[in-house]
Amino acid sequence: MDYICLLFLNICLICTCAASPPNFVLFFADDLGFGDLGCYGHPTSLTPNLDRLAAGGLRFTDFYCTSPVCSPSRASLLTGRYQTRSGIYPGVLYPGSVGGLPLNETTIAEVLKPQGYATAAVGKWHLGFGANGMFLPTKQGFDQYLGIPYSHDMGPCWNLTCFPPDVKCFGLCDVGTVTVPLVHNDVIKQQPVNFLDLEKAYSDFATDFITTSAKKKQPFFLYYPSHHTHYPQYAGPGAAGKSLRGPFGDALLEFDNTIGNLLTTLEKTGVINNTLVFFTSDNGPELMRMSRGGNAGPLKCGKGTTYEGGMREPAIAYWPGTIRPGVTHEMASTLDILPTIASLAGAKLPTVMLDGLDMTEVLFNQGKSKRETMMFYPTDPSEMYGLFALRLGKYKAHFYTRGATHSGTTPDQDCPVFAVLKPHDPPLIFDLEADPSEHYPLPLMGRPDLQALVEQIKTVKEQFEASMVFGESQVFKGTDPNLEPCCNPQCSPKPRCCQC
């Protein structure tokens, strides 16, 4: 009987999709740790709208990004491919970077456009600006864009206001470059950006996009990579001073408020029951910022490392009437979002090597994941070192370990940059179900079962590395100050004169 009901549900879902293609709203937080949300156990985070999504949707406990820093993680999310294939490595792209996400890479937006979807991106792009804005979202399948094209700390901020009435941003941010611009499509609308009004501008833009698409009865894809909760934190009057966590908590609350606004818009326009809402984050918390840097919960280390705290993320899937509320312990990844969306939209997959897997069975039936492995590359992947770690089932093997500047200041001596590169042969093996904190490597002596596991993991690693073709590094193409976005390109002296 249960099988017949399940079959009927799936038939109804397919018929619904055929009659009216589903909409997709993808929220992507920045530097958010596994333990930062109220629904993931943080005692003082104020995230009522995300908590509502988790209560009414599917919450993941074993969801991974592909890199412990920004640009490569975003490349993988939008292409369904490890960043090594697209060349978004090592590290991140900068305002004057010559390279960017190659235009021959296929993004989620480009997958959906042939199906008649309206597409928009709002927030932090961080996949390149380039000559004449050649790498902006509007060149990568998005009809509209409003946002800062890279990280909002990539410009001087010591004299900018981050909290009302006139609380200056914490720290200096990057100096010797242009102030961060607000870009609409490919035109700079404001430089430097006004942080106090920024989130409202994003919320209004996204609301208008959803409302217009719904009125036209056009399916839509909204990609919202937020700046929150990356350093320096900021918040406007709607959230400043209203959380218990200080600047970090206020920034997180502001993002949560926008999520609430957009859920209300989905409801008012009558499309909430035909919309998949997905939330996750790009990498783990920047622990070097201490209380301003987020929380990895029970996981080890954070941003910049291949420990769990650097790459295991909160993730929530919400679709009223279609996704049953619950918690899944199945393994999934940002890589899996593109093929899942393509499947639901009836779109063709790109004819390239994809690393993502369709996770509809997990979403709709809370069934088994097709994903059995997860690969862990460091911030500076290379063919010489290959994978730093690999997860197979519940076991994770570390072939190399290394700390990172981003994960400094913690008591764990494995996390800071002083924990230099260390090879492990045989690899360190952890049972992530029993020990998600990676405290206790399993002893291999006298354990033929674990020794057989190590050999199996090595085989999987060798096969994967043999299939990996590294794309040309876009970061190694270097930077050119003349490519930094300037609203008054003929002005002098740069970068100080770039203001409007």
Domain that holds residue 84: 23-372
Considering the domain architecture, whether residues 457 and 361 belong to the same structural domain is answered as no
Q: Name the β-bridge partners of 144.
A: 120
Residue that is last in its domain, among 314, 348, 372: 372
CATH number (domain holding residue 105): 3.40.720.10
The number of CA neighbours under 13 Å toward the Cβ of 252 is 29
Please state, in angstroms and rounded to a whole number, the distance separating the CA atoms of residues 54 and 51: 5
Q: Give a yes or no: residue 495 inside a domain.
A: no
Please state, in angstroms and rounded to a whole number, the distance separating the CA atoms of residues 124 and 224: 8
Query: For residue 219, which of 24, 358, 79 has the smallest C-alpha distance?
Result: 24
Q: Which two tokens stand for residue 344?
A: 């639901």
Identify the burial level of 71 via C-beta atoms within 10 angstroms of its C-beta, where 0-12 means exposed, 13-18 middle and 19 or more buried: buried
Residue 407 Ramachandran class (φ > 0 left, ψ -120 to 50 alpha, else beta): alpha
pLDDT in tens, the chain (500 residues): 454 444 445 544 444 444 699 999 999 999 999 999 999 999 999 999 999 999 999 999 999 999 999 999 999 999 999 999 999 999 999 999 999 999 999 999 999 999 999 999 999 999 999 999 999 999 999 999 999 999 999 999 999 999 999 999 998 899 999 999 999 999 999 999 999 999 999 999 999 999 999 999 999 999 999 999 999 999 999 999 999 999 999 999 999 999 999 999 999 999 999 999 999 999 999 999 999 999 999 999 999 999 999 999 999 999 999 999 999 999 999 999 999 999 999 999 999 999 999 999 999 999 999 999 999 999 999 999 999 999 999 999 999 999 999 999 999 999 999 999 999 999 999 999 999 999 999 999 999 999 999 999 999 999 999 999 999 999 999 999 999 999 999 999 999 999 99
Q: What is the 3-state secondary structure (H, E, C) of 5-18?
A: HHHHHHHHHHHHHH
Considering the domain architecture, whether residues 62 and 117 belong to the same structural domain is answered as yes
CATH number (domain holding residue 461): 3.30.1120.10
Overall number of domains in the chain: 2
Q: Is residue 454 within a helix (H) or strand (E), and if so which, with residue range?
A: helix 448-467
pLDDT of residue 172: 87
pLDDT of residue 15: 44
Please state, in angstroms and rounded to a whole number, the distance separating the CA atoms of residues 33 and 281: 8
Please state, in angstroms and rounded to a whole number, the distance separating the CA atoms of residues 133 and 61: 38
pLDDT of residue 4: 45
Q: Which two tokens stand for residue 355?
A: 């690393």
DSSP 3-state of 374: strand
> What does the DSSP 8-state code read for residue 469?
-
8 A C-beta contact, residue 274 and residue 23: yes
Considering the domain architecture, whether residues 324 and 380 belong to the same structural domain is answered as no
Q: What are phi and psi of 400, to 5 degrees?
A: -140, 145
Q: What is the largest CA-CA distance in the chain?
A: 75
- Distance between terminal CA atoms of the chain? 66
Considering the domain architecture, whether residues 88 and 137 belong to the same structural domain is answered as yes
Considering the domain architecture, whether residues 402 and 361 belong to the same structural domain is answered as no
- Residue 4, number of CB atoms within 10 A of its CB: 8
pLDDT of residue 6: 46
Considering the domain architecture, whether residues 349 and 427 belong to the same structural domain is answered as no
Annotated catalytic residue within 39, 65, 126, 157 = 126
8 A C-beta contact, residue 126 and residue 93: yes
Q: Which two tokens stand for residue 422?
A: 């260390």
Q: Give a yes or no: residue 9 inside a domain.
A: no
Annotated catalytic residue within 65, 70, 301, 486 = 70
CA distances from 436 to 22, 210, 279, 300 (A): 35, 39, 22, 8
8 A C-beta contact, residue 209 and residue 118: yes
Q: Give a yes or no: residue 472 inside a domain.
A: no
Residue that is last in its domain, among 304, 339, 372: 372
Sign of CA dihedral 124, 128, 133, 135: negative
Q: Name the β-bridge partners of 97.
A: 479
CA distances from 398 to 91, 237, 393, 421, 465 (A): 21, 45, 14, 12, 15
Q: Give a yes or no: residue 41 inside a domain.
A: yes
DSSP 3-state of 425: strand
Q: Give a yes or no: residue 208 inside a domain.
A: yes
The number of CA neighbours under 13 Å toward the Cβ of 292 is 12
Q: Give a yes or no: residue 219 inside a domain.
A: yes
Q: Which two tokens stand for residue 145?
A: 């864009």
Considering the domain architecture, whether residues 254 and 350 belong to the same structural domain is answered as yes
Q: Is 126 a catalytic residue?
A: yes
pLDDT of residue 3: 43
Identify the burial level of 15 via C-beta atoms within 10 angstroms of its C-beta, where 0-12 means exposed, 13-18 middle and 19 or more buried: exposed
Predicted TM-score of the model (pTM): 0.95
Considering the domain architecture, whether residues 169 and 191 belong to the same structural domain is answered as yes
Whose tokens are 């190659």? That residue is 102
Query: For residue 314, which of 277, 286, 355, 283 has the smallest C-alpha distance?
Result: 283
> What does the DSSP 8-state code read for residue 97?
B
Considering the domain architecture, whether residues 356 and 439 belong to the same structural domain is answered as no
Identify the burial level of 324 via C-beta atoms within 10 angstroms of its C-beta, where 0-12 means exposed, 13-18 middle and 19 or more buried: middle
Query: For residue 123, which of 177, 77, 83 has the smallest C-alpha distance?
Result: 77
Considering the domain architecture, whether residues 282 and 330 belong to the same structural domain is answered as yes
Please state, in angstroms and rounded to a whole number, the distance separating the CA atoms of residues 395 and 3: 32
Considering the domain architecture, whether residues 333 and 459 belong to the same structural domain is answered as no
Please state, in angstroms and rounded to a whole number, the distance separating the CA atoms of residues 438 and 419: 16
Q: Give a yes or no: residue 12 inside a domain.
A: no
Q: What are phi and psi of 253, to 5 degrees?
A: -65, -40
Q: What are phi and psi of 223, to 5 degrees?
A: -105, 120
> What does the DSSP 8-state code read for residue 367?
-
Angle, helices 246-268 vs 48-56, to 10°: value is: 50
Whose tokens are 């961060």? That residue is 180
Q: Give a yes or no: residue 415 inside a domain.
A: yes
pLDDT of residue 11: 44
Considering the domain architecture, whether residues 288 and 163 belong to the same structural domain is answered as yes
